[in-house]
A and B are shown apart, each in its own frame.
Chain A
């Protein structure tokens, strides 16, 4: 174990470059700021009416936006596989649904491309 550790160390596994560290710190800080920012801005706010309706639409909208390039803009195999996944999710547990979706995309790509 000690030998393996020494070998890894000699191969540079534990090297940390100062500019790389600065980049990681910068990325980490801004990412945490985004995670905290929305909560911080709204934590004392009690939303009602249309503002609340807008906020309630956000979860489905953001998730949809994240996957839109894959679902709508990649090709017909991906679009069809997404439709298969949605249908499967109405009846099957999530893990099975994901497996069905992956199998569908592999099969449809083989057939269509």
Chain B
């Protein structure tokens, strides 16, 4: 492996380890819940391998009945994963140099954590394909294995809230938001997003609050206007 690529892989492993560790109890729990709903370990692993989206899978397992309401499950997954549209549009200019085939592969592994880490890295580095795909592959293998294991060993897991694991992703995302800070404009976008998301979450069931927050943040960005790099550099 060329040394530059090895360095990208190392950086990706360092960046992704906290997320991979944090996801283990959730993988076990999801597998156990799915097994209680009558899904076999192989079905759970197939779902994790092909869908690879934690929040969508938790909600799917929650509404799962037999026979599987496949249309409802499909539409629900679509709604919960709508945020990927915004994420992909935002990442698009940073991975333009990947080429089509590599982009399609890397995007299959785009989950909240890999996307946010790539966005963060794009501030200081060119986002490398090896960087993104290493993080994606680690989380994918981790997810398929832990959900399958959870389904095989069943409901041995307690409630993750006991050890604060239900807060682990919130904590990870908070550190990522801090890493995305670019001055007051970021603060305004965060405030608008939080206000819109909280309001929509209180008023409507379902994952609409994520789109509401993302769109509110984008609108504040447009109102705030273009980031002038010359002014920012002069101010430093």
Chain A residues within 8 Å of B, Cβ to Cβ: 8, 12-17, 19-43, 45-73, 78, 81-82, 85-86, 89-90, 94-95, 97-98, 100-106
Contact = CB atoms under 8 A, between A and B. Distances in A.
Contacts of B220: 57, 61
B192 A61 contact: yes
Q: Which 4 A-B pairs have the closest CB atoms?
A: A61-B217, A65-B213, A57-B221, A38-B88
Residue from A61, A63, A78, A82 having most chain B Cβ neighbours under 10 A = A61
Contacts of A85: 170-171, 174-175
Interface of B: 17-18, 21-22, 39-43, 46-47, 50-53, 56, 60, 66-71, 73-75, 77-78, 81-93, 95-96, 103-104, 107-108, 110, 112, 115-116, 119, 152, 162-182, 185-186, 189-190, 192-194, 196-198, 201-202, 209-214, 216-227
B171 A101 contact: yes
B236 to A, nearest CB: 18
A106 to B, nearest CB: 4
7 contacts: A19-B70, A23-B69, A23-B73, A34-B84, A58-B87, A63-B176, A90-B178
B40 A64 contact: no
Contact of B185 (A42, A57, A69): A57
A45 B174 CA distance: 30
A39 B50 contact: no
A86 B178 contact: yes
A62 B217 contact: yes
Contacts of A34: 78, 81-85, 88
A55 B177 contact: no
Contacts of A43: 92, 96, 103
A8 B4 CA distance: 44
B174 A101 contact: yes
A36 B81 CA distance: 11
Given A32-B107, A33-B78, A39-B95, 4 more contacts: A31-B53, A42-B92, A61-B217, A69-B198
Contact of B90 (A20, A28, A46, A55): A55
B217 A60 contact: yes
A20 B197 contact: no
B56 A31 contact: yes
